[in-house]
A and B are shown apart, each in its own frame.
Chain A
């Protein structure tokens, strides 16, 4: 036996017990965080002597649990942790729902498998049942306000169900009603005690002026050009002769305000720009091409060329400025630049091309399963929507600011999801409403494994509502009975202690989060039921590193 397999493998019947013990341990820490009247979990920080971290997010709690002392239970715990971590990375929320769904499904499944049912066949029927649930969730989906535009009131209600912070949810509702579902929102730490928002017209990139000498307004450390011509490139300009054709063509075309975007401009070439940068002759700004690496720079150049018109000059295509013509210049109504960033307002590209380009990016965003690519596409779409918002989160202590900023980020992701894909009745009501469809499947089959799988799911879909109600201090059985009597769309509002129509009361969950949590929790449990042997490595890979890049399954 190799050194890293010194501990004995675990076989049945111990496998299920050990796996369940580990999974139950981690889920027990997350369960109290589900619902609007959730409680928090304090976790000691391992590397410093500051006080414990107080958390209310299942995904973050799961990340913080590195290892369990019992190596047999540890495998179960890490299995659940990995599932929750991926879900957190993918959707930003829904981890507690996934955890309780997993626990109910796995524990019930273990009971039936040990009673003699076939685990593989059970897994197959569970997966069929998951599709039934996802179909039911799709059927219940509504858009907050009138789709696809959403008003601030509905959006703030969606935000409130996630964050339970009225001030934050009102601000996020306002922000997203303005910037839209794909809009650009930066959440930063603020210096005040509360929340502040700022809207910026136009588009900006995090690349600044190539020289301080180009700063026209020394007080604001900023320069502005009106009706500017723009040269887009990723070229390395080493000699003045390389950039001279730009100045000559601009002068001959009567262009007196010029923004040059290049990856690098050597000092000697910059000197030529300084020599010509005179207010009565020509105003010139030069900034570095935004983006890290060729791919990001190419994305910028494509987007900017569509937005402003003109032709991008590409190093990879062997372009130089020697062939530049007046129609190669892009145009914008206003351009600004400081030492850290530059932006433009009113790009004068063809608006039809801009809209087609945006539609193509949106389609690519909807199509791709690659989370990294989704994030990049989202960023590009957000920029092209010609406006952005910044939310500054303040507070009294650093810990408060960090916690509220994390909450704001999580809520913003949920609101975006709701705007893009819609919402379902919140508080576990949407999952509970899947029960009739599952019951019909049970009634339609005599296969013992199929019936067992649907029975498991029938109980599992009630578990999020039971947990939310229990966390709020009510009796889950009484609440469940009342909700069943009320009908579809109704749920238990734990803030008022009454059964209510959830969407009308503004209690809604983003459907993408509910579907992703359901899929992750149930498919993971179905898979875990097929585990028969557990082999433990003593030299473990670091659990502090995230799981490999996730792919987002389209649900």
Chain B
């Protein structure tokens, strides 16, 4: 792993980062934090206020980001592609259709929820489904591309959501998972009802989730915890075990899997002090630590986990690092 660049965004703390899937070509990326949302179009070298045209009197704390899965897959088709980005704030979800130039806000049900995670359906262009995980208010769901939101928390016994992950085969299996204060919950009907999984409560909270791209066949899902390491389920979340090769301490703030159907996929786990990469499904890890990595709170892997792919890291002191795997 090599560091490419470190930049100061002007934010006090970064809660979420996101980047275009074609980041290496177009350099488009976002950083959300307590002072608002910043956008960069030069690979993170310079940043500007994404809410500048919004006319806000006070900085709007932004806590989660998600891009449409169809976001600029091909630079040549950029004019026709979906350019939607969602940003979660306290009490609302903002949406932009033009790389963050202009925004519309949709209010969430009161009392104002604190959005901690956003997830967009893999088939967003057809079904228009977007999910928002919140602190204290569970999961909110939008059927209409983020225009309106409603809570669907039947069976979700823990409403403190830290992570959301949708099955790659969501159009067929309607399955999604949430990582919460006390474990992992699963919905197999598109978020309309939730059921507990056997994730051990004493090892929670679960801060990050990643689902195998071959989930329909292998049912593999990883869960990163605050203090109990990395966990894996190979049966769609019914049973869980620790990943045997994981030896790094600290909270796992982000998890990414290689978009391949390999039996033992490459995994990237981001803790608050280290980048951990495994190419054998978690059996062995390459761990990179450095002073620059201290205080990493969030990450984005726009091109997935593969050799040479770039990864964005956001830190608690407002820096964004761009690294190459």
Interface residues of A (CB under 8 A from B): 146, 148-149, 151-152, 177-180, 183, 199, 201, 226-227, 333-334, 345-346, 348, 351-352, 354-356, 358, 384-387
**7 smallest beta-carbon distances between A and B, as pairs:** A351-B158, A387-B154, A226-B111, A178-B193, A351-B182, A149-B195, A352-B182
Interface status of B159 (Cβ within 8 A of chain A):
yes
Cβ-defined contact, A346 with B138, below 8 A: yes
Size category of the B interface is 20 to 34
Partner of A201, one of B111, B151, B180, B181: B151
Q: What are 8 A-B contacts defined by CB distance under 8 Å?
A: A149-B188, A178-B192, A179-B155, A183-B154, A333-B111, A333-B159, A355-B182, A387-B153
Question: How far does the alpha carbon of A149 sit from the alpha carbon of B236 in the complex, in Å?
Answer: 12
Which residues of B sit under 8 angstroms from A177, Cβ to Cβ?
A: 189, 192-193
Q: Which of B168-211 contact A (CB under 8 A)?
A: 180-183, 186, 188-189, 192-193, 195-196, 201, 204
A178 touches B181 (CB 8 A): no
Question: Which single member of B157, B186, B188, B192 contacts A355 (CB below 8 Å)?
Answer: B157
Are A151 and B189 closer than 8 Å at their CB atoms?
Answer: yes
User: Given A146-B188, A151-B189 in contact, is the A355-B158 Cβ separation under 8 Å?
Assistant: yes
Q: Nearest Cβ distance between residue B153 and chain A, in whole angstroms?
A: 6
B136 within 8 A of partner (CB)? yes
Within the complex, the shortest CB–CB distance from A201 to chain B, in Å, comes to 6
In Å, the complex CA distance between A149 and B189 comes to 10
Q: How far is the CB of A358 from chain B (nearest CB, A)?
A: 7
Whether B154 lies near A152 (C-beta < 8 A) is no
> What's the nearest-Cβ distance from chain A to residue B29, in Å?
34
**By DSSP majority rule, is chain B's interface helix, strand, loop, or mixed?**
loop
Least Cβ–Cβ distance between A491 and chain B, in angstroms: 28
A146 CA / B235 CA spacing, docked (Å): 11
B290 partner residues in chain A, CB cutoff 8 A: none
Query: Do B158 and A354 have beta carbons less than 8 Å apart?
Result: yes
Contact of A386 among B155, B192, B201 (CB under 8 A): B155
Contact yes or no, B236 A146, CB < 8 A:
yes
CA separation between A52 and B151, bound complex, in Å?
48
User: Are A387 and B137 also in contact (CB < 8 A) when A177-B193, A352-B182 are?
Assistant: no
B223 contacts chain A at the CB level, 8 A cutoff: no
In the assembled complex, the Cα of A151 lies from the Cα of B159 at a distance in Å of 23
- CB <8 Å contact, B195 and A148: yes
* Contacting residues, chain A, for B278 (C-beta < 8 A): none
Separation in Å of the B149 CB from the closest CB of chain A?
13
Instruction: List residues of chain B with CB within 8 A of the CB of A348.
Output: 136
Please give 17 more A-B residue pairs, beta carbons under 8 A apart, in addition to A177-B189, A351-B157: A146-B188, A151-B189, A178-B193, A179-B154, A179-B155, A180-B154, A226-B111, A346-B138, A351-B158, A351-B159, A351-B180, A352-B158, A352-B182, A352-B201, A352-B204, A355-B201, A384-B157
Determine the chain B residues whose CB is within 8 A of the CB of A146 once the complex forms: 188, 236, 238
Q: Is the CB of A387 within 8 A of B111?
A: no
Residue B156 CB within 8 A of the other chain: yes
Residues of A within 8 A of B138 (CB): 346
Bound complex: CA A510 to CA B36 (Å) = 55
Cα–Cα, bound, A340→B182 (Å): 34
Q: Which residues of B contact A384 (CB under 8 A)?
A: 157
Whole-angstrom distance between the alpha carbons of A345 and B180 in the complex? 18
- A residues near B181, Cβ cutoff 8 Å: 351-352
